[in-house]
Structure 1
Amino acid sequence: MNALDAALNATLDTSATPARSLQRVIPSMAASDGAGVKLLRSLGQRQDMRLDPFLMLDEFGSDNPDDYIAGFPPHPHRGFETVTYMLEGDFEHEDHLGNKGHLRSGGAQWMTAGRGIIHSEMPLRAEGKLHGFQLWINLPAAEKMKPAHYRDIQPEDIPAARLENGGQVRVVAGELASPNLPALAGPIQGLSTAPLFLDVHLPAGGSFSQQVPEDHTVFVYAYRGALRIGERLLPAHQAGALGAGARVEVHAAEADTRFILLAARPLREPIVQYGPFVMNTREEIEQALADYRAGVLA
């Protein structure tokens, strides 16, 4: 073992690091968005159900085309970032800036709305299962009016590691920092909120540990099976906000448990939201509406 490996192992030694506890559970509620896509909304179902800087988390999943076929026709955004992560199915993205993208099973898109973008996400299949997530992450006040940016992330561009217990972790954003696993960097790096986005699969009795900055907001969302975090159980389709600490440790409470782990630096800034616009003041929201009506959102 060389000096670099020894230093890394020392950093990832969790034996003396208390794990974050499960502090708050946010059950999902049935909702619909776009042109009638049925989904489950945890974060964002009410304005007091946010976890700074995370604004909203939707899970959509159905094998009935009537639940998703109408998709998300053209609609505007300003002031935050949208992340769409697909587990199964395909979407086509188009926006008024000329971007086009094919969002495939296992892939993602990361869109910074900034000062404004009008886009659509439409399913590319008329049958079969469509399953994925959309996450909204706030932008700091200094970046809310920066130019919009769109990035397609193909499945093969998302690194993955096999876990010792037979599970798997995929790294969409941030870096994998887990004992006995390689240090993997996801395709999304360098953002002001330093987001972490992991998709973790665990067999029955499996466990997973990840180092996280102590000042970051951290939550998990089980989309299959159930998780045990400390002495508490987190069932599927519920968001679990974690308390303070430099480490996350979770255990599968059922066979084939799957969850996403999300963390980011909180902004601690005022939030004023009106539908697809998220700004810091009412005046900025009014300006966003005026710009959209005048056709000068971007």
Structure 2
Amino acid sequence: MSDAPRGRDSGPIPGGRVRHATSVNSTRAFPTEAHPAHLDPFVLFERFYIDPDTGFPMHPHRGFEIVSYMLEGEMEHEDSLGVAHTAREGDAMRITTGGGIRHSEFPAGGAACNGLQLWVNLPRDRKEVDANYADADAADLPTTETDDVAVTTVIGEGSPLDLHTPVTYLDARVDGAWTWTVPDDWTGFAFGVDGEGTVGRDRFGVGDVFPVESGQVVDFEADDGSGDSDSEAAPFRVICVAGEPHGEPIRQRGPYVL
């Protein structure tokens, strides 16, 4: 996939439907045919839907980090480090695949589940770090609330989970207006999870406002400078992610990022 920016005037892009070889369906924000670029340092982002009779048997990964965040239901994780863990609604897991790890993901309790998965590239000098795993219950993830918004920090200040790359990952439930700022020279994106709202992007003093609905993504690219995202709806749930680019090519080969 290309790492070239798609242009500063790009509005919301609908997620692409992906059917994995194991019959798991996903709505992928990027990379897709409509959004072919990776977003350095991000390799991919998708919402997965695992039915009771499907899942991901033990399979390998290397060269990046995985953040899984559960929206509904429960998911059982096992890996080659000897970890066995069940993630429930609002829980998060972080896997540093490093030089190599194998893991499996299946729905728990005979019921379907769905959640979000983010792949973050490891910088070239850390590709072979030891594989590692950590998780956090929903109660461990800090949430701040005002009259207009409740924001849970999945990755970032106050979260017990961290990455080798500076990243902020926020889950916002907006019932009014909320402003999110992407740090200077970082790459960011907003992904609609539930409901409908608007996302505004301020680049070099030039503002764009877009209607956004579930399954759509809006980019905030590093070479366009920083930006503010304003979301207005009642209610609107939106995921906002930003990270410091590595400035290195992202070479994805299936489950590996070289």
Question: Alignment partner of 1:256: what SS?
Answer: strand
- Could you tell me which of 91, 105, 121 is aligned with 1:107? 91
- The question of whether the paired residues in 2 share the 8 Å contact of 1:158 and 1:186 is answered with yes
Q: Does 1:116 align with 2:89?
A: no
Where do 5+ consecutive residues of structure 2 fail to align?
1-7, 201-208
Q: Does 1:161 align with 2:144?
A: yes
Count residues with an aligned counterpart. 240
In the other structure, the counterpart of 2:249 is 270
- The question of whether the paired residues in 2 share the 8 Å contact of 1:171 and 1:186 is answered with yes
Deviation at 1:164, TM superposition (A): 2.6
In the other structure, the counterpart of 1:295 is none
Where do 5+ consecutive residues of structure 1 fail to align?
1-20, 176-184, 280-298
Runs of 4+ in 1 over 4 A off after TM superposition: none
Deviation at 1:245, TM superposition (A): 4.5
- The question of whether the paired residues in 2 share the 8 Å contact of 1:222 and 1:258 is answered with yes
Question: Alignment partner of 1:156: what SS?
Answer: helix
For 1:60-98, what per-residue CA distance to the aligned partner results, in whole angstroms no more than 9, with x for missing partners?
Answer: 247xx3xx5311110100000111100111111111121
For 1:215-256, what per-residue CA distance to the aligned partner results, in whole angstroms no more than 9, with x for missing partners?
Answer: 100100011122312322222201110254445232224x22
Question: Alignment partner of 1:105: what SS?
Answer: coil
Which is richer in strand?
Answer: 2
- The question of whether the paired residues in 2 share the 8 Å contact of 1:24 and 1:242 is answered with no
Deviation at 1:188, TM superposition (A): 2.4
- The question of whether the paired residues in 1 share the 8 Å contact of 2:65 and 2:121 is answered with yes
In the other structure, the counterpart of 2:231 is 251
- The question of whether the paired residues in 1 share the 8 Å contact of 2:93 and 2:135 is answered with yes
Change (3 A) 1:161 1:51: same
Larger Rg: 1
- The question of whether the paired residues in 1 share the 8 Å contact of 2:29 and 2:217 is answered with yes
For 1:117-148, what per-residue CA distance to the aligned partner results, in whole angstroms no more than 9, with x for missing partners?
Answer: 00001110323x52211111111001110000
For 1:266-290, what per-residue CA distance to the aligned partner results, in whole angstroms no more than 9, with x for missing partners?
Answer: 11112222100111xxxxxxxxxxx
Deviation at 1:34, TM superposition (A): 5.5
Q: Does 1:54 align with 2:42?
A: yes
Change (3 A) 1:110 1:34: farther
Question: Alignment partner of 2:30: what SS?
Answer: coil
Alignment of 1:60-209 (within 5 A): 60-61=48-49, 65=51, 69-127=53-111, 129-165=112-148, 167-175=149-157, 185-189=158-162, 191-203=163-175, 206-209=176-179
TM-score of the aligned structures, taking structure 1 as reference length: 0.75
1: CA distance, partners of 2:226 / 2:27: 30
TM-score of the aligned structures, taking structure 2 as reference length: 0.86
- Could you tell me which of 26, 29, 47 is aligned with 2:13? 26
- Name the % identity: 36
Deviation at 1:37, TM superposition (A): 1.0
2: CA distance, partners of 1:77 / 1:26: 28
Deviation at 1:208, TM superposition (A): 1.3
Matched letter for residue 48 of structure 2 = F
Deviation at 1:111, TM superposition (A): 0.3
- The question of whether the paired residues in 2 share the 8 Å contact of 1:23 and 1:242 is answered with no
- The RMSD of aligned alpha carbons is 2.0
2: CA distance, partners of 1:212 / 1:273: 25
